[in-house]
Structure 1
Amino acid sequence: MPSAEAAAGSDGSALRGPDLARAALQAAKEQSAARRSTARKARVGPGRRKRRGWSGARPDDRDPQPLGRLASRIAAERGWTDQLAGGQVFARWPTLVGGDIAQHTRPVALKEGELTVQAESTAWATQLRLLQRQILKRIADGVGGDVVRRIKVQGPAAPSWRRGPRHVSGRGPRDTYG
Structure 2
Amino acid sequence: MSDQPEPPAAEGAKPELRGVDLARRALEEARAAAKASGKSVGQGRSSPQRRLRSGARRRSGWSGPRPDERDPQPLSRLTGSIAKNRGWSTKVAEGTVFGRWSGVVGEDIASHATPVTLKDGVLSIAAESTAWATQLRMLQGQILAKINAAVGQGVVTSLKISGPAAPSWRKGERHVRGRGPRDTYG
Q: TM-score over 0.5 for the alignment?
A: yes
Measure how far apart 1:56 and its partner are: 0.9
Asked if 1:107 is matched to 2:125, the reply is: no
Asked if 1:56 is matched to 2:64, the reply is: no
Following the alignment from structure 1 to structure 2, what is the Cα–Cα distance between the partners of residues 154 and 145?
23
Correspondence for 2:176? 166
Correspondence for 1:153? 161
* Residue identity matched to 1:56: G
Label 1:166 to 1:91 Cα distance change in 2 as closer, same or farther (>3 A): same
Root mean square deviation of aligned Cα: 3.1
Correspondence for 1:118? 126
- In structure 2, which of residues 76, 85, 107 is the aligned counterpart of residue 77 of structure 1? 85
Q: Per the alignment, in what secondary structure is the counterpart of residue 153 of structure 1?
A: strand
Deviation sequence 1:36-94 (CA, Å, 0-9, x none): xxxxxxxxxxxxxxxxxx97113887664432222112111111111111111112222
Normalising by the residue count of structure 1, what TM-score does the alignment of the two structures yield? 0.57
Label 1:80 to 1:129 Cα distance change in 2 as closer, same or farther (>3 A): same
Following the alignment from structure 1 to structure 2, what is the Cα–Cα distance between the partners of residues 69 and 126?
39
Aligned ranges 1:25-104 → 2 under 5 Å: 56-58=61-63, 64-104=72-112
Following the alignment from structure 2 to structure 1, what is the Cα–Cα distance between the partners of residues 119 and 76?
26
Runs (4 or more) in structure 1 with deviation over 6 Å come to: 59-62
Normalising by the residue count of structure 2, what TM-score does the alignment of the two structures yield? 0.55
Asked if 1:143 is matched to 2:151, the reply is: yes
Label 1:62 to 1:93 Cα distance change in 2 as closer, same or farther (>3 A): closer
Measure how far apart 1:151 and its partner are: 0.5
Following the alignment from structure 2 to structure 1, what is the Cα–Cα distance between the partners of residues 128 and 182?
23
Label 1:173 to 1:137 Cα distance change in 2 as closer, same or farther (>3 A): farther
Cα contact 1:55–1:62 (8 A) shared by 2:
no
Q: Relative to total residues, which structure has the larger helix share, 1 or 2? A: 1
Deviation sequence 1:116-158 (CA, Å, 0-9, x none): 1001111111111111111111111122111111111121133
Amino-acid identity (%) = 55
Measure how far apart 1:107 and its partner are: 0.7
Measure how far apart 1:96 and its partner are: 2.2
Measure how far apart 1:97 and its partner are: 1.9
Which ranges in structure 2 are unaligned for 5 or more consecutive residues?
A: 1-58
